[in-house]
Amino acid sequence: MSIKSKLIISYVLLIVFSVSILGFLIGNKSHSSVFHEVTEKNQGTVELIHNMVSVRNDLLSEKVWTDLHYIEELLNNLGEIRIDYEKKVQVGNYTLPPLYAGNTNLTLDTALAQKIEKSIGAIYSIFLLQDDQLIRISTNMKFNGKRAIGTKLSIHNSSDNNCNLDNCAIYQKIINKETYYGSHLVNTDWLITGYQPLLDKNKNVIGAIALGYKGINPYLEKTLSNIKIGKTGYVYVMNSKGNVLVHPKIKGENISSFAFSQEILKSKNGIIEYEFQEVYKMASYKYFEPWDLYIIATANYDDLKSSSMSILKTTLFIGILVSLICVIVSLFVANTLVRPLNKLKNYMESVSKGDLSVHSDITSKDEIGILSNSFNHMLTENKRLLQEVIKQDHIKTEFFSNISHELKTPIHMILSTTQLFSFYVKNENQPIDPKKSNHHIHIINQNCYRLLRLVNNLIDITKIDSGYMQLNLRNDNLIEVIENLTLSTVEYVQSKERILIFDTDVEEKFMAFDEEKLERIMLNLISNAVKFTNPKDQIQVNIYDKKDKIEISIKDTGIGIPENKIDKIFERFKQVDPLLNRSHEGSGIGLSLVKSLVEMHDGSISVKSSYGKGTEFIITLPVKFALEKDTPLQKDDFSKNINEEKIKIEFSDIYS
C-alpha cells in the first residue's frame, strides 16, 4: 500500500473517531464548562472592578493632596486668614463672626466655591472653629438639594448625624494643627477627603478647609451599570448596610434582609448561588474595605443552560460539516505531502551516488520544509568538512615538508662535515688545519643545536596539547631576570652586527612567573628579531610597569610583516614565507609555542608591524604572587646563571 493510500485512510478514520469523541465529550462537559467559564468571568470581572476602584481610590487620594495644597495656596494669596469678631453673620442655626482671607469674606461665600468646583471639580468646604466645633460656613456640598451650610464636626458624641468616629478623628487632627487624609461617608456618598487647618497670624487654629471627591461618581456608576455578563448578567454594588448603590434596576433599595445578602456581608469574598425574584442566580463578590462596599457580578442559570445547549448543537453541526470537508482536504493534503517527499527522496539518491552539487528547492514552512533545510545544511556541512579535510591534508603536507626540511638541512650539514673529517683521516699525509677543524666542529654543534631545538619545540607543543606542561611559579624580580637574559645575548647579537638596547621604567617588580618558560619566550622573540633584521638594525627590549600588569616589548627595525600575514604568525606550522621561497630557516612552531607559554601565565601577546619598517611584539603579564609554600627558598644554580646552551639552541637556525 502506498504512502498516499495510508494517509487518506488514516485521515478518514481519525476524523470519524475525533467527531464521535468530540460529540460525546461536548454532551457531557459543555454544561459544566460553560458554568466554569462564567464563574471565571464573574470572578475576573469582580477582580477587575476591584482593581479599578482601588486604582481610582489611590489616584483620588493623590489628587486630594495636590488640590488641597492648591486651595491653601489660593487662600494664602488672598491675604491673612483672620476672624472679624466685631461683626456677626447668621450661618444656619449659628450666629458667627465672619472669616476673612485678606479682604475676601469667606463666610457664606459662593464665588470662591464655584471657582474651585469649576477648576478642579471637587467638593469643597470651609469650616470656622467655634465652641469646640468646626462649622461649615462655605461649601458647594448639598444635603437634600440644599447647601450644607451650618453643619458641623465636633468631639461630642450626640444624636447629630454629622458626629461619628470619622468626624471626631478629623476634628482631633485639625485642632492639633495636623492635616487629615482619608475616606469616609458623608451623607449618602463615600468621599475621598483631605482636611487642612487654617491658622491666623499667631499660628492658632481658627478653622479648616476641606476637599473631597466622590468615590462612585456618575461616570463610574454608568460604567458599572453598562457591564453585561451573558444575556442577563450584570454588576451591582452595595454597602455594608445592604443599601444598593449601583444597580441596573433596584438602585437605592435595601436588600440586607435577604439570606444571600447576609451571606455576602458575612463572608466578604467568594462565590454564591441563590434565588432572587424567582430567578436562580450565581454570583461572585469581593469586599472593598476603603469604601466599605461590596462588588458583585451575577448571572442567571437559565442563560447558562441555553448557552451550553446552543454550544452542543452548533458543535455537532460543525463536526458533521468538518468531517465532509476534511475527507476532501485529506485527498489534497496527501498529494501535497507525497509530492515533496518523492522529490526529496530523489535528491538523497543523487547524494548517495556522490553528487554533492544537489540542492533541495523545497521551501515550505512545514516539517518537510524543515527536513529540506536540514538536508541542505547537511550537504553544506559535508562540503565544509570535505574542504576542511583538504585543508588539514594541505597543512599536514606543509608540516611534513617543513619538518623534513628542518631535519634534512642540519643532517646534510653534519653528514658533509663528518665526510670531510673522514677524508682528512684517510689522507694521513695531508695536515689538518686547526682553524678549519674548529669551523667544521662549530657547524656540527650548531646543527645539533638546531635539531635539539626542533625536538624540544615538538615535545613542548605535545605537552601543552595534552595538558602535561605545568608552570613552576616563583615570586621573583621580573626586571632583573629579563635584564640578565637580554644582556647575556648582547655578545651574540653584536656578532650579527645588530644593536641590542634594554630599557625599563621601573627597577624592581616582584611577581610570580616561571623563569625557565620566560627564558624560552624571550630568547625566541630576540632570535626572531635577529633573524628578520639586517646589519646595523636596532632591537629594543623595553619593560613598562602598568601597576596591575607588566608589558614587555621586543621591537626591531627589520623587514616587518605584510599586513595580510599578521593574523597567521601565531598559527602552528605557519610561516610568512612559503617553503621554497623562504629567506630564513624555521619550522613555524616557535611563535605558537611562545603564545601558549604566555597564555599559561594568564597573559597575552600581540604584534604590531609595518612592512619594511619593523615589528613589535608586546607581552602583557598580570601581576600576581604565588603562595609562600609553593615558592622555593632560593634559586638554584640553573636559575641564577642564564644557561649559555639555551642561547645557542634558540639561535641555532641563524647562520652567519
pLDDT category of residue 312 using cuts at 50, 70 and 90: low
Residue-averaged pLDDT of the chain:
81
Q: What is the pLDDT of residue 508?
A: 92
Q: What is the pLDDT of residue 392?
A: 72
Average pLDDT over every residue of 574-582: 50
Q: What is the pLDDT of residue 307?
A: 59
Its CATH architecture, for the domain 79-215, is 2-Layer Sandwich (3.30)
Buried-state track 62-72, b at ≥16 Cβ within 10 A, e below 16? ebbeebbeebb
Q: What is the pLDDT of residue 513?
A: 94
401 DSSP assignment = H
Distance separating alpha carbons of residues 320 and 49, to the nearest angstrom: 41
pLDDT in tens, 537-551: 999 999 999 989 999
pLDDT beyond 60 at 200: yes
CB atoms < 10 A from the CB of 217, how many? 14
pLDDT beyond 60 at 583: no
Amino acid identity at 120: I
Selection from 291, 316, 49 nearest residue 191 by Cα: 291
Q: What is the pLDDT of residue 100?
A: 93
Check residues 24 and 414 and name the one with the higher pLDDT: 414
Lowest mean pLDDT among 138-142, 227-231, 649-653: 649-653
pLDDT category of residue 99 using cuts at 50, 70 and 90: very high
Q: What is the pLDDT of residue 429?
A: 66
CB 406 within 8 A of CB 585: yes
Name the helix (H) or strand (E) containing 587.
none
pLDDT category of residue 581 using cuts at 50, 70 and 90: very low
Label residue 191 exposed, middle or buried (CB < 10 Å: 0-12, 13-18, 19+): buried
CATH no., domain 470-650: 3.30.565.10
Distance separating alpha carbons of residues 26 and 28, to the nearest angstrom: 5
pLDDT beyond 50 at 526: yes
Check residues 224 and 35 and name the one with the higher pLDDT: 224
Check residues 451 and 583 and name the one with the higher pLDDT: 451
The angle that helices 301-352 and 3-78 make with each other, rounded to 10 degrees, is 130
> Can you give the residue ranges of every domain in the chain?
79-215, 219-303, 470-650
CB 169 within 8 A of CB 183: no
* Backbone torsion region of residue 222, taken as left when φ is above 0, otherwise alpha when ψ lies between -120 and 50, otherwise beta: alpha
Right CATH for 219-303 from 1.20.5.50, 1.10.1060.10, 3.30.450.20, 2.130.10.10: 3.30.450.20
pLDDT category of residue 446 using cuts at 50, 70 and 90: low
pLDDT beyond 50 at 159: no
Q: What is the pLDDT of residue 160?
A: 46
Q: Secondary structure of the chain: what % helix, strand, coil (to 5)?
A: 50, 25, 25
pLDDT beyond 80 at 309: no
Name every residue whose Cβ is closer than 8 Å to that of residue 118 and which is 6 or more positions away in sequence. Answer: none
pLDDT category of residue 252 using cuts at 50, 70 and 90: confident
pLDDT beyond 60 at 68: yes
DSSP H helices, 554-650, are 590-600, 637-640, 644-650
pLDDT beyond 50 at 38: yes
User: How far lies 472's CA from each of 132, 301, 475, in Å?
Assistant: 92, 86, 10
pLDDT beyond 60 at 84: yes
pLDDT beyond 70 at 253: yes
Check residues 527 and 322 and name the one with the higher pLDDT: 527
pTM: 0.42
Q: Is 518 helix (H, G, I), strand (E, B) or coil?
A: helix
Average pLDDT over every residue of 232-248: 88
pLDDT category of residue 162 using cuts at 50, 70 and 90: very low
Rounded to 10 degrees, the C-alpha dihedral 379/383/385/391 comes to 180
Average pLDDT over every residue of 82-97: 91
Within a 13 Å sphere around the CA of 406, how many CA atoms are in the beta-carbon half? 25
Check residues 420 and 157 and name the one with the higher pLDDT: 420
DSSP H helices, 248-300, are 259-267
Average pLDDT over every residue of 571-596: 64
Distance separating alpha carbons of residues 326 and 10, to the nearest angstrom: 12
Buried-state track 407-428, b at ≥16 Cβ within 10 A, e below 16? eebbeebbeebeeeeeeeeeee
Selection from 649, 593, 589 nearest residue 403 by Cα: 589
Q: What is the pLDDT of residue 655?
A: 57
Average pLDDT over every residue of 295-317: 73
Average pLDDT over every residue of 465-484: 88
The residue length of the chain stands at: 656
pLDDT category of residue 356 using cuts at 50, 70 and 90: confident
Distance separating alpha carbons of residues 581 and 558, to the nearest angstrom: 19
Q: Name the percent of the chain lying above pLDDT 90.
A: 21
Name the helix (H) or strand (E) containing 219.
helix 218-225
Q: What is the pLDDT of residue 543?
A: 95
Same fold across 219-303 and 470-650: no
All three cell numbers of 536? 646595523
Average pLDDT over every residue of 15-34: 68
Selection from 599, 481, 46 nearest residue 296 by Cα: 46
